Amino acid sequence: MLLRIAFATIALCVVGFSHAASPATDAHATAPRDSDRHAAVQPDNDRHAADRVNRQAMAAQVRFEFRHAWQGYRRYAWGHDDLAPLSRKPHDWYAQPLLMTPVDALDTLLLMGLNDEADAARELIAAKLDFDQDIYVKNFEITIRLLGGLLSGYQLSGDERLLHKAEDLGTRLLPVFDSPTGLPYVEINLRTGKTRGLETNPAETGTLLLEFGTLAKLTHREEFYDKAKRALVETWKRRSSLGLVGSSINVETGKWLDTESHISGGIDSYYEYLWKCWRLFGDRDCLNMWQPSIAAANKYLADDVHGALWYGYADMTSGARTHSYYGALDAFFPALLALSGDVPRAQRLQESSLRMWRAHGIEPEQIDYRGGKIIYPGYALRPEIVESTYYLAHFTHDAKYLAMGRTLFRDFVKHCRTDAGYAALADVVTKKRKDGMESFVLAETFKYFYLLFAPDTALDFDAVTFNTEAHPLRATWRTKSIE
């Protein structure tokens, strides 16, 4: 597959990023405009409506709803990690807030041209985000959300303060890699550098290189790249003879604690970064690790059930099927398949994800695809099915993915919108709500909805690689195209 990644060594990284909406008309608005909202909520009155998705109106509607969620955070949780949308209270992950929502949402604000809001978020981050805290944090979550968000925010805005915060954070996180195997400990104290947490998984060990690697390139400190790459390689080296990895591993011994393999939470983004570290950095070792890994996943995890494609669970050593589970997290896989060149398989799997969504008008966390029984009934406002819709629309130019995205968005608004923002669902059958709005809703779910409908000029897809938290990273350090 030809990757059209031709990067010039320009000083700032804003070239190639632009937003669909006009900042001149919107930058000073203080509330979402009703005209934006109503532009997209007209019902489909004829059977051809799906073929005529009004992209401009849909992008405006997504932007309006994103702003509604952002304003809820701003009103009730400003300066904290995230908003509890039902109780209208702030929620923090740790004893000290680390501004999860503003950092995670910053690049979405910028891409949507919400410049006043983005400026306020940047000032809050510059003034209040202090990593010198005596708290243990999860390395994986902090890396994908905060390190990723600071780096893409820097690349989009040119605000050097964000890069300095990213370097401070990356430096504080580095001791996680000081284990006998090079696999990272699960948690680290941001002030003391002490580590803890021996039981980890491939997602936590293998989903660090895009962020640490980008930090290495931007700061010219290669140790960030080398340590995160070693963690990925050490995970891959422990694959079975079939080419599969398990779902739990000990950091210090490197021994598998659970040999069940799948593409779901705990392993998912390990696959994603094998491909994407080749795409972003042109690191051929990553391509060489990806090829046998995806072949093994397609051989042992893919499951054809009455003509429908799913990916289930299997033992990494024997390849024997252990569960026929698939869920909201697995729904990222069509995006990865499409990005790595396998559009036909991506399209088939996306049909299955849509079937899962449609069964209840919104997707549950996990189902048993043989029979359709729900295993976990919640919906955490996850982005993965939207991400795959966006990628497939990009690669196929088929309007059916726009119509699919419109269905997903209407269901999302219908079931999850609250007066203060958006609320997760405790149960997709009863539609009972839950008092949570994770930062990834603003980082990912709304961003992918927006990019799906926005003009292609909103973001140059070929010039960026999204980290697993939807933060677009741009290889400004590269001068050549790769194939």
Q: List phi, psi (to 5°) of 273.
A: -80, -25
Catalytic residue check, 167: no
Burial of 371 per CB tally in 10 Å (0-12, 13-18, 19+): exposed
Number of residues that bind ligand DMJ (CB under 6 A): 10
Is 389 one of the binding residues for ligand DMJ (CB under 6 A)? no
371 vs 350: CA distance, rounded Å = 18
Is 247 one of the binding residues for ligand DMJ (CB under 6 A)? no
Selected range binding ligand DMJ among 119-127, 302-310, 378-386, 450-458, rule: CB under 6 A: 378-386
- Using CB under 6 A as the binding rule, the residues of this chain from 139 to 168 that contact ligand DMJ are 144
Where would I find the beta strands (DSSP E) of 62-169?
82-84, 89-91, 136-138
**Six-digit token string for 249:** 């591993």
Q: How far is the CB of 143 from ligand DMJ (least distance, A)?
A: 11
Q: Give the DSSP H/E element, type plus range, for residue 33.
A: none
Is 107 one of the binding residues for ligand DMJ (CB under 6 A)? no
Q: How far is the CB of 253 from ligand DMJ (least distance, A)?
A: 26
The residue from 268, 303, 444, 469 that is catalytic is: 268
Which residues face 196 on adjacent strands?
A: 187
Q: How far is the CB of 382 from ligand DMJ (least distance, A)?
A: 4
Catalytic residue check, 384: yes
Burial of 63 per CB tally in 10 Å (0-12, 13-18, 19+): buried
The residue from 44, 92, 141, 285 that is catalytic is: 141
Residue from 468, 472, 473, 475 in contact with ligand DMJ (CB under 6 A): 468
Characterize 136-159 residue by residue with b for buried, 16 or more Cβ atoms within 10 angstroms of its Cβ, and e for exposed: bbbbbbbbbbbbbbbbbbbbbbeb
Q: How far is the CB of 207 from ligand DMJ (least distance, A)?
A: 7
Nearest to ligand DMJ of 53, 408 (CB atom): 408
Q: How far is the CB of 30 from ligand DMJ (least distance, A)?
A: 30
The residue count of the chain comes to: 483
Nearest to ligand DMJ of 32, 148 (CB atom): 148
Residue from 412, 440, 448, 449 in contact with ligand DMJ (CB under 6 A): 440
Apex 9 CA angle, 164 and 477, nearest 5: 60
168 within 8 A of 162, measured Cβ to Cβ: no
186 vs 353: CA distance, rounded Å = 31
Nearest residue to the partner ligand DMJ, using Cβ:
468
Q: Between β-strands 199-200 and 248-250, what pairing exists: parallel, antiparallel or unpaired?
A: antiparallel
- Using CB under 6 A as the binding rule, the residues of this chain from 263 to 292 that contact ligand DMJ are 269
Nearest to ligand DMJ of 20, 425 (CB atom): 425
Q: How far is the CB of 377 from ligand DMJ (least distance, A)?
A: 16
Residue from 67, 80, 238, 382 in contact with ligand DMJ (CB under 6 A): 382
Q: How far is the CB of 467 from ligand DMJ (least distance, A)?
A: 9
5 within 8 A of 478, measured Cβ to Cβ: yes
Nearest to ligand DMJ of 266, 405 (CB atom): 266
Please tell me whether residue 107 adopts helix, strand or coil conformation: helix
Q: How far is the CB of 187 from ligand DMJ (least distance, A)?
A: 17
86 within 8 A of 98, measured Cβ to Cβ: no
296 vs 284: CA distance, rounded Å = 19
Q: How far is the CB of 374 from ligand DMJ (least distance, A)?
A: 18
**The residue to which tokens 């940047």 are assigned:** 122
Nearest to ligand DMJ of 210, 420 (CB atom): 210
Selected range binding ligand DMJ among 24-32, 40-48, 368-376, 381-389, rule: CB under 6 A: 381-389
Phi-psi region of 242 (alpha: psi -120 to 50; beta: other; left: phi over 0): alpha
Alpha-helical segments (H) within 377-419: 384-396, 400-416
Beta-carbon contacts of residue 126 (< 8 Å; ≥ 6 apart): 159, 161, 162, 165
- x/- track of binding to ligand DMJ for residues 315-354 (CB under 6 A): --------------x-------------------------
Which residues face 82 on adjacent strands?
A: 91
Residue from 175, 316, 469, 473 in contact with ligand DMJ (CB under 6 A): 469
Please tell me whether residue 384 adopts helix, strand or coil conformation: helix
The residue from 26, 365, 444, 469 that is catalytic is: 365
The residue from 26, 384, 444, 469 that is catalytic is: 384
Is 259 one of the binding residues for ligand DMJ (CB under 6 A)? no
Nearest to ligand DMJ of 129, 329 (CB atom): 329
Is 471 one of the binding residues for ligand DMJ (CB under 6 A)? no
**Six-digit token string for 178:** 């000081």
Where would I find the beta strands (DSSP E) of 2-85?
82-84
142 within 8 A of 215, measured Cβ to Cβ: no
Selected range binding ligand DMJ among 29-37, 128-136, 299-307, 380-388, rule: CB under 6 A: 380-388
- Give the active site residues: 141, 268, 365, 384
Question: Applying CB under 6 A, which residues contact ligand DMJ?
Answer: 144, 269, 329, 382-384, 440, 444, 468-469
